[in-house]
A and B are shown apart, each in its own frame.
Chain A
Amino acid sequence: GGAHSQHAGRAIHARQRSPAQQTGFLFGRFLICQVGLLVLARESAKPAGRDVLQSIGLPKMAALEEGFTLSAVPLGVGPHGLLGVEQSDKADQFLVTDGGRTVILYKVSDQKPLGSWSVKQGQIITCPAVCNFQTGEYIVVHDNKVLRIWSNEDVNLDKVFKATLSAEIYRIHSIQGTEPLVLFKEGAVRGLEALLAEPQQKIETVISDEEVIKWTKIFMVFKHPVLIFITEKHGNYFAYIQKFNSHTLSKYMLLLGQEENSVIQSFTASVDRKFISLMSLSSDGCIYETLVPIHPSDPEKDQRVVRSLLLKTVVSGDTRNGVALTVLDQDHVAVLGPPLPSSKECISIWNTKFQTLQTSKELPQGTSGQLWYYGENLFVLHGKFLTVIPYKCEVSSLAGALGKLKHSQDPGTQTAPHFVNWETSRGYRLGSQNSEQSKRILRRRKTEVSVQNPASKELLSAIKKDSEKHIEVELCKFLAIKPTPDFNTIIGDIVSELLGRHKAEPSFYPRNSLMQLIQTHVLSHSLCPGLMEAALEKADVQMLQLCLQQFPDIPESVTCACLKIFLSISDGSLQEAEINMESVSDYSDSVQEEKMEEQTEVLHNGFNAEEENCDNCDRELNKKPQDAAEETTSCPVIPKRAALLNAILHSAYSEMFLLPHLKDIPAQHVTLFLQYLYFLYLKCSENATMTLPGLHPPTLNQIMDWICLLLDANFTVVVMIPEAKRLLLSLYKFVKSQICICSELNKIEVSFRELQKLNQEKNNRELYSIEVLELF
């Protein structure tokens, strides 16, 4: 899907252009892009593309702020860096356990230590200090088996409570809402209280010989603690899930998939209701995800879980140490390590959903390959100092991304007018309205209007009950009256009244009256939004054509709906419709006075395609030369349909809004429309001025823009249709020749500039001369 979303991006990008550029060249630019994609599209035939885009909600913007060091005291001088950073019972305070003998309590916002405790010389801390959230005391383990429990007031660790256990401890987990849990190196878990009650109790062995705990974490799931630990034995990894509400232990074997040889360097996990999502950073530099069920289907049996690739190559593959990862939230992970083999270590934030690197920060002094994340802070050992990097992930707003429109509405004034008076913007002038009056038009005051115009009142009441014929007569009467300044609002009211009745009784469709009203030239789509809707419903192409010609503000979705009807309606029903044919001239009499000598020559704009090496398509095209000739002369649609399509071509639109709707058009209709557009283009290029005959024909720009739009929207579909292949190939060939012309022109431009320079030098006489001057 990634490649697809990229297509969309590129296609849209290619449509941004300066108006100064010539259409032909522009078209060329666009098609290069599309043709390039042909290959890509074939490679990944999975028709995704759009759902990736649709799944994008409001993107979050992750950001790393300026970091700061916690203290000037060097930490982690031992070979294993820090033992750990743990939360204390106060939000801003953290317990930092050094690899040697010291535990320090830091207040992060003040960047200073609040307390520091050390074990005696000869003793060594083996497990990071944690805070017992229920009592506010701190717990640390030294020499693997000795527990020390103390509080803030204690000064000397030697004198605080001590308990010596019978087995070696791997970690103590402490988390809000439960008592601390002790994980022994043999895999057994005990609550702290139970242990303290009987310190010398026997601790059972859970994991097998030579199996070593690699990593562990605790979660609260439904108010109960769930502990996970990962063990390794001979390159195999196992996950154990210990639940405390049911006292069950489940074991899973992690299947590494194809990356059998890789060594897992760092783990992190997050939890939702049913699964623990275990992420691992492997020695190949990729992040894999494993979903481990919390509630196993069959707890007795050994189960297997498979890991899948989540992010590719986030750190350089062959790094020995200094890599770590931690989950930040649902979509973000932080990765510590060098992004390239030669580069310095970095901390980077990746978005796992979009597979993108969000931000990154270099840590030039190196790290210990350890990373902790609590609240809004990331902790890393940068050089010899513990550094805190605040991390923020704010939901970015649309306003932030696109800019915000300011609504400077005075509280006193009325709300924005219901509809726009298109007269003022189009330069129409009705009667002798002055600015005061036109201001009034903008405010719609129905009551006033009806009071002022008895004729319209009469008409409105007629609409409510009378027959279509009678309404027509009333309407004629009304229209015969000299238009008043608020004429357009009254017309709007009449139309909405008519449509209201149509809605209530579907058989009532006052077509003639509506046509007459549209032809007053004062209506706009915003003035009567239901009108085109009704016409679309009735497939009334004549009315739609009229609306397309008259309304300046048709939404793209409606334009597209019209296009769909125009393309799908049968020839038979078209023959019956009365359609304005002024934009279509008889294309069959193609012999024109200014017709250029040779059509293919014109097609290539003077460039000889035979020299070019797009032989493949040439050959294919040349197979049926008669067909090609046929194609250029016969119009693929009947004249009435052509007139309707021309109305679409003439209508105003914004690409951004039109493109999504164009995607919904069925493939054969897209092909038909493309064939028609291509036919128009060929007709255009038949004469020197590049225009079509007729009273109000589509312009070359309009034709080109629509070809681009259609291909943009439906390229992946069109590419698959065999009937469209020849069309695409001829477009491709045309574009290729255009590119050649452009590059030739660029070459010529350089030569011309040189010539100009030479010419100037000639004109510029020497630096010094003596001349004769006579003044008269």
Chain B
Amino acid sequence: MGEFKVHRVRFFNYIPSGIRCVAYNNQSNRLAVSRTDGTVEIYNLSANYFQEKFFPGHESRATEALCWAKGQRLFSAGLNGEIIEYDLQALNIKYAVDAFGGPIWSMAVSPHGSQLLVGCEDGSVKLFQITPDKIQFERNFDRQKSRILSLSWHPSGTHVAAGSIDYISVFDVKSGSAVHKMLVDRQYMGVSKRKCIIWGVAFLSDGTVISVDSAGKVQFWDSATGTLVKNHLIANADVQSIAVSDQEDSFVVGTAEGTVFHFQLVSVTSNSSEKQWVRTKPFQHHTHDVRTVAHSPTALISGGTDTHLVIRPLMEKVEVKNYDAALRKITFPHRRLISCSKKRQLLLFQFTHHLELWRLGSTVATGKNGDTLPLSRDADHLLHLKTKGPENIICSCISPCGSWIAYSTTSRFFLYRLNYEQDNISLQRVSKMPAFLRSALQILFSEDSTKLFVASNQGSLHVIRLLEGSFKHLHTFQPQSGTVESMCLLAVSPDGNWLASSGTSAGVHVYNIKHLKLHCTVPSYNFPVTALAIAPNTNNLVIAHSDQQVFEYSIPDKQYTEWSRTIQKQGFHYLWLQRDTPITHISFHPKRPMHILLHDAYMFCIIDKSLPLPNDKTLLYNPLPPTNESDVIRRRTAHAFKISKIYKPLLFMDLLDERTLVAVERPLDDIIAQLPPPIKKKKFGT
């Protein structure tokens, strides 16, 4: 099949940011996740948990609260004191409103979705009216003594529970006055702690308020009388988050020890109507603080300092065994952070606030499968490029020739020219970028590095010609009339004639670069596109979707290829469809037109279109080299999918030349090693 030299790269020192908030939207089955660097990500739980959108972070915008309102509107609030609404179409921030209460610690949308409540550092609870295009401050509730760390509305919208330090207040929404103040015991295992922080509250329709606090307690309060009804001591450390199901028959809490507890309302005896809350299941999927939890109808969702987003399906709620029945642990972004210059064997790594350029090493030795070859030259760190300003990098790209680097933040676009003189490189910024090039969602260079394609967040696509040290704006493809959807993925054909682009939901558009016009649109498909590429010579467009389907579409013929039709007819192998990470990159072999190379986080695959397709009875993944079996058996069992799982977690894989691959791995242990130490639990003795 093929023998490659693989540059196995583990020096991409990427650390995902810890998860701060998750917010589940029942209506669209989407999950919004905010991270400690201010990034907000949107996962489509119906589309195989694909991370379909993201809003880049900002140094000063530490998000403390995140919530959905009126179905599709997403708000966040944070320590800079601002409430932000996100534009989910244009993928930018619609507006930011200062609440004038100091840092905001909590936020909650009213059950009817028309009002927004924020809890501030100065102890104020502020009510905002959600208008169709903005939010409007309405009034303050009675000021409390210390910061409001958690808020929850009663499902009827008449009362609100607010967790502060050492006590919980119950507010009457109409008057804005505190009806009850429920003091929380500071005692922790008999020792009085300095303060008891109420990390989370939940208000149930029967008037029960559930609180979780820094003393490791889950407490049930009767809001009518302001008395403690029940107390569960569940952790030796803080209980940091709580989420209740819509039916109010189960809830989930997350602790600083990394444990997630499931509580359910169960009958006291098998056939009595009296029910009580019982701690049913503990889950330990995290090593660090579980900062946030969410409860979807079928799953418990948790995230925290250890950067994993964990989706744990409730088996009793899952009817069929499919994607939804499996535990999901999402650690890496579903987009590429790495680009590669094949000609100069360079890798460009994208971090939150800087870029790193590395040159791969080389070897002259040869070997057989599995050998590690001696290096004649080690990899070099050439460049460390820090961004200016507080904004996070959205996307970056290095040109195939290695002479250009482009990256973008929310408000600025940067283009650099690189000059190589023996061992020295010099970097020169291309100044005077045109005004329309402000924010890019995706950047791509043509194969010959003469053109730059930029997908902006208004749905337009800019084509720019690059000259020695300067540039020229050639054309802008405007979005289709009536849509403002941003394009997230780009692909250009090696001959430079075709440009394919895809957004989050509409189909893939193919533009003719020569004539600067739209060539065709690939019929839209139910699931979002995760990777795009155009094959050399044939100009076949290969599209991978989040449901693990792969299509091949002939651009010249404006139709799906015969191979694509065949595989759709026969269907993919069931194990292929059960993979849980999306394909993030597709590439082609320059000399073998029948090969498609693609990878996700846990496998790398070469599809050989000339071989028969596997059916569900054949072994999809066969890591063992053939033994002395007769060639007949080998030929009979050979199929189109050649899979390797040696490299994982695999963030990037590409073909440098016919016989050389580059694989960028990011071992989880390396990430864990750089996280703050988790709470130590003694294994022996007292």
Q: Name A residues whose Cβ lies closer than 8 Å to a Cβ of B.
A: 9, 13, 16, 25, 28-29, 32, 399-400, 403-406, 408, 424-425, 435, 438-439, 739, 741-743, 745-746, 749, 760, 764-776
Contact = CB atoms under 8 A, between A and B. Distances in A.
A774 B1 contact: yes
A439 B271 contact: yes
Given A746-B682, A749-B684, A760-B669, A770 B3 contact: no
Contact of B372 (A32, A771, A775): A771
A363 to B, nearest CB: 18
A324 B347 CA distance: 76
Nearest to B365: A770
Given A32-B686, A746-B685, A772 B371 contact: yes
A429 to B, nearest CB: 12
Given A403-B228, A768-B379, A773 B685 contact: no
B372 A770 contact: yes
Most B CB contacts (10 A, CB to CB) among A29, A438, A769, A774 go to A769
17 contacts: A29-B686, A404-B228, A424-B269, A424-B271, A742-B685, A746-B684, A764-B669, A768-B11, A770-B361, A771-B370, A772-B366, A772-B368, A773-B369, A773-B644, A775-B2, A775-B3, A776-B642
Contacts of B5: 770-773
B603 to A, nearest CB: 12
Interface in B655-686: 661, 667, 669-670, 682-686
Interface string B1-20: 11111111111000000000
Contacts of B7: 768, 770
A705 B487 CA distance: 67
Contacts of A29: 685-686
Most B CB contacts (10 A, CB to CB) among A741, A766, A768 go to A768
Interface of B: 1-11, 189-190, 219-220, 222, 227-231, 269-271, 274, 361-363, 366-373, 375, 378-379, 606, 622, 624-626, 642, 644, 646, 661, 667, 669-670, 682-686
Contact of A739 (B6, B369, B685): B685
A477 to B, nearest CB: 33
Nearest 9 Cβ contacts at the A-B interface? A742-B685, A774-B369, A745-B684, A29-B686, A767-B11, A775-B642, A774-B3, A775-B1, A768-B379
Contact of B3 (A9, A403, A772): A772
A435 B622 CA distance: 54
A772 B228 contact: no
Given A773-B6, A773-B370, 9 more contacts: A9-B190, A399-B228, A404-B229, A743-B685, A768-B10, A770-B375, A772-B366, A773-B644, A774-B2
Contact of A776 (B1, B219, B378, B646): B1
A576 to B, nearest CB: 43
Contacts of A766: 10
The interface residues of chain B, by DSSP majority, are classed as loop
Nearest to A774: B369
Contact of B228 (A400, A749, A770, A775): A400
Nearest to A742: B685
A770 B363 contact: yes
B612 to A, nearest CB: 15
Contacts of B372: 765, 769-771
A582 to B, nearest CB: 32
A16 B229 CA distance: 22
B638 to A, nearest CB: 8
Contacts of B270: 424, 435
A775 B11 contact: no
B292 to A, nearest CB: 26
A769 B669 CA distance: 18
Contacts of B644: 773, 775
A405 B361 CA distance: 70
Nearest to B233: A16
B685 A438 contact: no
Contact of A742 (B3, B219, B222, B684): B684
A389 to B, nearest CB: 16
A766 B665 CA distance: 12
A771 B228 CA distance: 64
B685 A771 contact: no
A569 B270 CA distance: 43
Nearest to B667: A764
A708 to B, nearest CB: 14
B208 to A, nearest CB: 9
Given A32-B686, A775-B642, A403 B269 contact: no
A742 B684 CA distance: 6
Contacts of A438: 271
Contacts of A408: 274
B625 A774 contact: yes
A13 B624 CA distance: 58
Contact of A773 (B3, B11, B222, B670): B3
Contacts of A765: 8, 10, 372
Contacts of A406: 222, 229
Nearest to B374: A770
A638 B105 CA distance: 68
A624 B584 CA distance: 77
A739 B686 CA distance: 9
A772 B10 contact: no
A768 B378 contact: yes
Given A771-B372, A772-B6, A772-B370, A403 B231 contact: yes
Contacts of A439: 271
A186 B479 CA distance: 103
Contacts of B642: 775-776
Nearest to B638: A776
B661 A773 contact: yes
A726 to B, nearest CB: 26
B271 A399 contact: no
A768 B271 contact: no
B370 A435 contact: no
Contact of A25 (B1, B190, B686): B686
Most B CB contacts (10 A, CB to CB) among A29, A32, A742, A775 go to A775
Nearest to A17: B686
B231 A768 contact: no
A769 B363 CA distance: 10
Contacts of A767: 9-11, 379
B626 to A, nearest CB: 6
A28 B366 CA distance: 62
Nearest to B643: A775
Contacts of B606: 775
Most B CB contacts (10 A, CB to CB) among A16, A29, A764, A774 go to A774
A322 to B, nearest CB: 27
A764 B8 CA distance: 12
Contact of A435 (B271, B363, B661, B683): B271
B622 A771 contact: no
Nearest to B208: A406
Contacts of A769: 8, 372-373, 375
Nearest to B10: A767
A741 to B, nearest CB: 8
B228 A742 contact: no
A726 B442 CA distance: 80
B213 to A, nearest CB: 14
Nearest to B276: A406
B231 to A, nearest CB: 5
Contacts of B362: 770
A190 B670 CA distance: 90
A403 B363 contact: no
A491 to B, nearest CB: 20
Contacts of A739: 685
Contacts of A32: 686
A746 B683 CA distance: 8
Nearest to A757: B673
A138 to B, nearest CB: 38
A55 to B, nearest CB: 21
A764 B368 CA distance: 21
A746 B685 CA distance: 8
A626 to B, nearest CB: 34
